[in-house]
């Protein structure tokens, strides 16, 4: 069944090609399509475009469909084009002409726009929650191992002393800023496109503020042409925020792969969390982190993939947009999996003690030796030259007393400040999403 079908049948070849993977992808939108239809029906009744009793019948049947979705009993039947067609078909089958009224003053264009926004904001909640859980693991590890020193590197050459506290804390702060990014994008996309119809509004006297309130949006996409322009834009903004999280995870993963290498030997994991070789019995491979690295590198390409599909399209709707689902929807599950596995693995990380006692790391303290001379009154450039000469002549010795006190250094990690900023972001996002949840719960009564 097709909502736009007239008397002439479309070629089966054309039908198969144009539907593509829509039916498969649309299962992810089913719950959101029903909730959007509930709000739309209530608005139609408020606007006098639907009788109150008809709106009540539609609401009851939509609740029934929603229950089937939650129970895993909802199906897009063979011959039905997409989830929107299936929901309307079920309403019409049960309610007759009343079911046919659900699409009044609505196009599949603004219907799909709405579903994608509802889907995205629900997925953002899951990602922010998982990011918060990983953040807690990283902060805990930073505090637990803050006194254990670690070589710092630039150009992959030993540079200056670092610590496990500084290393774990760096990724905690990176994740904190990723969460701020997600929160900002959430505010941008959490706008109501419903009522823009096919992009040019409708001559029917609808009340868009009602659906905006019913669905817990922060506002609406005011201009109907712009509302349609958010197709592709919503996906790109959201994918860019997800790519930021993926970038943090990917960089952490490559660090872990390096630090597990026997030439570094800074960390290890229980053997049950690593994999072996079919030929080399000694191997303990970091496959989990190699896959996290690969998956997160792939996630970082998604904004570019979306741009490749939409970059040269004029305003208005185009069927090209359908292809975005195949790129966009699976990204959420992949990122959630990577966040979950990173937290799971890090909870069992084993950190080595006394790494810097190895003679090969003594030059890490060259800057500290320079700074000791500076504190004694020697100009920095002279001190730099003196220590450099000592290194070349083999006379360099590690300073006996080294102390880092400034904010963000080995001796002052600022973890409490980072935690406070993360809490503010999580609380802000929590308030936004509670508004969304309350709105949806009211619709589901």
Which are the contacts of 424, defined by CB distance < 8 A and separation ≥ 6?
none
Candidates 9, 11, 13, 155; catalytic one: 155
CA 310, CA 304: separation in Å to the nearest integer? Answer: 10
Q: What angle do CA 302, 303, 307 make, to 5 degrees?
A: 115
Region of residue 370 (left: phi > 0; alpha: psi -120 to 50; beta: else): alpha
Give the single-character DSSP code of 10: P
How many Cα neighbours within 13 Å face the side chain of 326?
11
Q: Helix or strand or coil: residue 153?
A: strand
Structure tokens that stand for 16 in this block: 């198969």
Does the annotation count 277 as an active-site position?
Answer: yes
Does the annotation count 222 as an active-site position?
Answer: no
Question: Among 248, 195, 246, 203, which Cα is nearest to 224's?
Answer: 195
Residue with tokens 């070789």: 277
**DSSP H helices in 155-223:** 164-189, 208-214
Secondary structure (DSSP) of 62-91? HHHHHHHHHTT-----TT--SHHHHHHHHH
Question: Among 343, 341, 415, which Cα is nearest to 146's?
Answer: 415
Structure tokens that stand for 53 in this block: 């009793």
How many Cα neighbours within 13 Å face the side chain of 125?
14
Structure tokens that stand for 443 in this block: 């619709």
Candidates 184, 187, 277, 420; catalytic one: 277
Biggest distance spanned by C-alpha atoms of the chain: 94
Secondary structure (DSSP) of 275-327? B--SS-TT--B-HHHHHHHHHHHHHTTHHHHHHHHHTT--SS--GGGGGHHHH
Give the single-character DSSP code of 406: S
Q: Helix or strand or coil: residue 160?
A: strand
Q: Helix or strand or coil: residue 333?
A: helix
CA 248, CA 253: separation in Å to the nearest integer? Answer: 9
**Active site (catalytic) residues:** 155, 277
């Amino acid at each position: 069944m097709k909502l736009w079908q007239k008397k002439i049948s479309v070629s089966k070849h054309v039908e198969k090609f144009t539907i593509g993977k829509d039916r498969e992808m649309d299962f992810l939108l089913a719950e959101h399509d029903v909730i959007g239809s509930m709000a739309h029906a209530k608005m139609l009744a408020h606007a006098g475009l639907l009788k109150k009793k008809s709106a009540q019948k539609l609401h009851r049947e939509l609740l029934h469909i929603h229950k089937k979705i939650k129970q895993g009993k909802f199906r897009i039947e063979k011959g039905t084009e997409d989830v929107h067609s299936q929901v309307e078909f079920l309403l019409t089958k049960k309610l007759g002409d009343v079911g046919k009224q659900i699409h009044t003053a609505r196009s599949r264009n603004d219907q799909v726009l709405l579903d994608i926004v509802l889907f995205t904001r629900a997925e953002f909640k899951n990602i922010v929650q998982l990011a918060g859980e990983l953040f807690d693991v990283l902060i805990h590890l930073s505090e637990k191992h803050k006194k254990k020193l670690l070589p710092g590197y630039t150009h992959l050459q030993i540079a200056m002393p670092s610590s496990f506290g500084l290393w774990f804390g760096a990724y905690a702060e990176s994740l904190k800023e990723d969460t701020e990014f997600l929160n900002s994008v959430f505010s941008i996309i959490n706008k109501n496109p419903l009522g823009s119809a096919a992009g040019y509004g409708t001559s029917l006297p609808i009340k868009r503020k009602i659906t905006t309130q019913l669905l817990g949006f922060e506002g609406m996409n005011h201009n109907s042409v712009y509302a349609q322009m958010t197709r592709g834009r919503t996906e790109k903004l959201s994918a860019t925020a997800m790519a930021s999280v993926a970038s943090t995870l990917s960089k952490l993963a490559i660090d872990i792969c390096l630090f597990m290498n026997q030439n570094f030997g800074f960390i290890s994991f229980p053997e049950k969390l690593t994999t072996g070789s079919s030929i080399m019995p000694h191997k303990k491979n970091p496959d989990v982190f190699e896959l996290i690295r690969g998956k997160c590198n792939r996630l970082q390409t998604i904004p570019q993939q979306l741009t490749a599909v939409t970059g040269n399209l004029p305003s208005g709707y185009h069927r090209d947009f359908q292809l975005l689902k195949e790129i966009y929807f699976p990204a959420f599950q992949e990122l959630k999996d990577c966040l979950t596995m990173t937290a799971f693995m890090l909870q069992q990380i084993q950190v080595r003690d006394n790494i810097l006692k190895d003679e090969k790391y003594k030059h890490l303290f060259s800057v500290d030796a320079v700074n000791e001379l500076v504190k004694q009154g020697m100009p920095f450039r002279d001190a730099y030259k003196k220590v450099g000469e000592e290194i070349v002549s083999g006379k360099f010795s590690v300073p006996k007393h080294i102390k880092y006190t400034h904010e963000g250094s080995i001796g002052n990690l600022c973890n409490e400040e980072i935690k406070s900023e993360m809490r503010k972001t999580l609380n802000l996002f929590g308030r936004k999403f509670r508004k969304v949840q309350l709105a949806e719960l009211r619709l589901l009564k």
